[in-house]
Chain A
Amino acid sequence: MTFLRHSLMAAQMQGRQLGRRRVALAIVVVLPVALYVSQDANSPENAISFGALGAAWALATTALFAALSARESEPRLILAGYTPTELILGRALVLLLGGIVLCAGAAVAMGLISKPVSDGDLLAACALVAVISVPLGLAVGSLVPSDLEGTLIIIGAVGVQLSLPQSSPVNVILPLDAPIQFASRAGGFSASSQEAMVFQAAIYTVFLLLVASMAWSRKVGRKGRIRVVDASPQP
């Protein structure tokens, strides 16, 4: 119960912080739209993939900066009584919720404009973008020393994914391969099995969440051989 209460409080406070970054939120919305529109005129068959990658880029970067901006304050919160897992779970919850809202909007817009072969594949692509990008940003934010390195890694991951041809075997090891394959299916190109892609996405999501949680605990958690005997009465 305490775990849930603490996680929800962390999610609430993360939500308030994000809600106050109005310019950043506007860019998060504009980025996938810009990538989608830029391709829709030249190669409409790739437009959905570009839109999905734009959303992934925006969400991963948001998660990265949410994690990085918490580095100073969270050791104190942990000292006050939170656990690193509660804090990262709260952050992931609110980012996932925001990501799903963003991706749902993007899916509706792309569905109306691009008229995909399969609406289900388009929805799956957008849902998987949210589910993978947020843990990706959190994991990178937990591992890198500062914002520059994290931003470069995310730009690199999305850039490589954008430039690789669909048939490249390297795609399989990239975190955003599954949503891009679904986006291609929505455009009528990919023949990959849906089950395999969902499985790949699930593996990536769990792996990235585990990395994020472990690295975050190591970075901001209580350290050392301190032995605390709580003799104070609970309020």
Chain B
Amino acid sequence: MGTTIALTTACTLRRSGGRPMAGRCRRPVAGPDQKCSSPLPRVAAEAASRGGRYGKIADNMCPGLSQSATTGHPAPAGGVPSARPAVLIASGIEKRFRRKVVLRGVDLAVSPGETVALVGENGCGKTTLMRICAGLLSPDRGSVSVLGRVGYCPQEPGLIDLLTADEHLAYFGAACGMSSAHSIAKGRAILDSFGFSRHERGVSRRLSGGTRQKLNLALALLNDPAVLLLDEPYQGFDRGVYINFWDHVDAWRAEGRAIVIVTHMLAELTRVDRVVELPAPDATQG
């Protein structure tokens, strides 16, 4: 019951905010009069009571609460909320694994200098959507357009066990035409900002989980991406590094990067511009 009330609050916030939703499901699975089990509306209400860091409360707080379902106004093409053209546009994305429908009619558009949090239950397709946006997975239907380079930080660090951090930097830097010396210098600067110890000279399989994750994140940033896709990139970070991570997100946003971040950390949702919640896996069946 309390959740329902909070949902109403979230919808009111969204109306008063007047910002159209960029990430939405084409097929609403829960109308505004339906109960929502998501904890997000409560978080939004709490965030609103605190004022919110940017004063931008999550727009899409509940599965299926599409623009038309809540305000009756049609969403703009591509769902772009900003006057700036979107650098990442995913439209009509559908994906199923055998009989299981993971994504159905998902649209997502992200503008430069915008941070979007992608949230949802386990198995709802967050990572699948990120992989599709990165071009690592083929959607069954729909298309993705990206303006500029993409930096993708997967949930599991896709590192090469027997290469050192410097070798990773040289290897990935060479992909976009950087010399080894330049890649290493640039990568070390990024790693230093994450608190990566210069003493970590061993191969990556000997690094701790958090240290591997710092390298994972640095590789995503090495080629100055216009679009950053971060899939729970802070796993293994200690508390200090985790807090710094969100400061880095602010800095990347200020640099004009479009950031999509998969997160379960509801307390940090006030630090993003928009929250897009994917519907629960069972809600997309049928």
Closest CB of chain B to A227's CB: distance in Å?
5
Cβ of A207 < 8 Å from any Cβ of B?
Answer: no
Number of A-B contacts (CB under 8 A): 111
Q: Which residues of chain B are near A228, meaning CB under 8 Å?
A: 135, 145-146, 150
A227 vs B136: C-alpha distance when bound (angstroms): 12
Q: Which residues of chain B are near A70, meaning CB under 8 Å?
A: 160
Q: Which residues of chain A are near B135, meaning CB under 8 Å?
A: 79, 222-224, 226, 228
B148, A69: Cβ atoms closer than 8 Å: no
B148, A81: Cβ atoms closer than 8 Å: no
B176, A80: Cβ atoms closer than 8 Å: yes
Cβ of B162 < 8 Å from any Cβ of A?
Answer: yes
Produce 1/0 per residue, B160-189, CB < 8 A to A: 111100010011101111100010000000
Closest CB of chain A to B109's CB: distance in Å?
14
Q: Which residues of chain B are near A75, meaning CB under 8 Å?
A: 136, 158
Instruction: Select the stretch in B18-26, B68-76, B218-226 that faces chain A.
Output: B218-226
A79 vs B167: C-alpha distance when bound (angstroms): 18
B171, A232: Cβ atoms closer than 8 Å: no
B171, A13: Cβ atoms closer than 8 Å: yes
Cβ of B254 < 8 Å from any Cβ of A?
Answer: no
A79, B163: Cβ atoms closer than 8 Å: no
Closest CB of chain A to B47's CB: distance in Å?
33
A225, B160: Cβ atoms closer than 8 Å: no
A9, B143: Cβ atoms closer than 8 Å: no
A48 vs B135: C-alpha distance when bound (angstroms): 49
A229 and B223 in contact (CB under 8 A), knowing A13-B160, A20-B162, A224-B135?
A: no
A232, B203: Cβ atoms closer than 8 Å: no
Q: Which residues of chain A are near B149, meaning CB under 8 Å?
A: 230, 232
Q: Which residues of chain A are near B142, meaning CB under 8 Å?
A: 225
Produce 1/0 per residue, B120-160, CB < 8 A to A: 00000000000011111111001111111110101010111
Which listed residue, A17, A72, A79, A226, touches B144 by the CB 8 Å rule?
Answer: A226
A76 vs B174: C-alpha distance when bound (angstroms): 13
Cβ of A115 < 8 Å from any Cβ of B?
Answer: no
Which listed residue, B138, B163, B177, B219, touches A16 by the CB 8 Å rule?
Answer: B163
A72 and B162 in contact (CB under 8 A), knowing A226-B135, A235-B177?
A: no
Closest CB of chain A to B107's CB: distance in Å?
14
Which of A79, A227, A235 has most chain B Cβ within 10 Å?
A79
A6, B175: Cβ atoms closer than 8 Å: yes
A75 vs B226: C-alpha distance when bound (angstroms): 19
B162, A16: Cβ atoms closer than 8 Å: yes
A227, B146: Cβ atoms closer than 8 Å: yes
Q: Which residues of chain B are near A16, meaning CB under 8 Å?
A: 162-163, 167
A76 vs B215: C-alpha distance when bound (angstroms): 13
| CB-nearest residue of chain B to A77 | B175
| CB-nearest residue of chain A to B222 | A80
Which of B159, B163, B225 has most chain A Cβ within 10 Å?
B163
B158, A73: Cβ atoms closer than 8 Å: yes
A224, B137: Cβ atoms closer than 8 Å: yes
Cβ of A234 < 8 Å from any Cβ of B?
Answer: yes
B219, A76: Cβ atoms closer than 8 Å: yes
Closest CB of chain B to A66's CB: distance in Å?
11
A79, B136: Cβ atoms closer than 8 Å: yes
A9, B171: Cβ atoms closer than 8 Å: yes
A16 vs B203: C-alpha distance when bound (angstroms): 11
Q: Which residues of chain B are near A229, meaning CB under 8 Å?
A: 145-148
Which A-B residue pairs are the 8 nearest by beta carbons? A81-B175, A80-B175, A223-B138, A226-B135, A224-B138, A17-B162, A225-B143, A226-B144
Binding site for A on B (CB under 8 A): 132-139, 142-150, 152, 154, 156, 158-163, 167, 170-172, 174-178, 182, 203, 219, 222-226
17 residue pairs A–B, Cβ–Cβ below 8 Å: A2-B177, A9-B174, A13-B163, A17-B161, A21-B162, A69-B161, A77-B171, A77-B172, A80-B176, A81-B177, A225-B144, A229-B145, A230-B149, A232-B225, A232-B226, A235-B176, A235-B223
Q: Taking A228-B146, A235-B176 as given, write out 19 further A-B residue pairs in contact, using a Cβ cutoff of 8 Å, ordered by the A residue number.
A: A2-B177, A6-B174, A9-B170, A13-B163, A13-B171, A17-B162, A20-B162, A77-B171, A79-B150, A81-B223, A223-B135, A226-B145, A229-B148, A231-B147, A232-B149, A232-B224, A232-B225, A235-B177, A235-B223
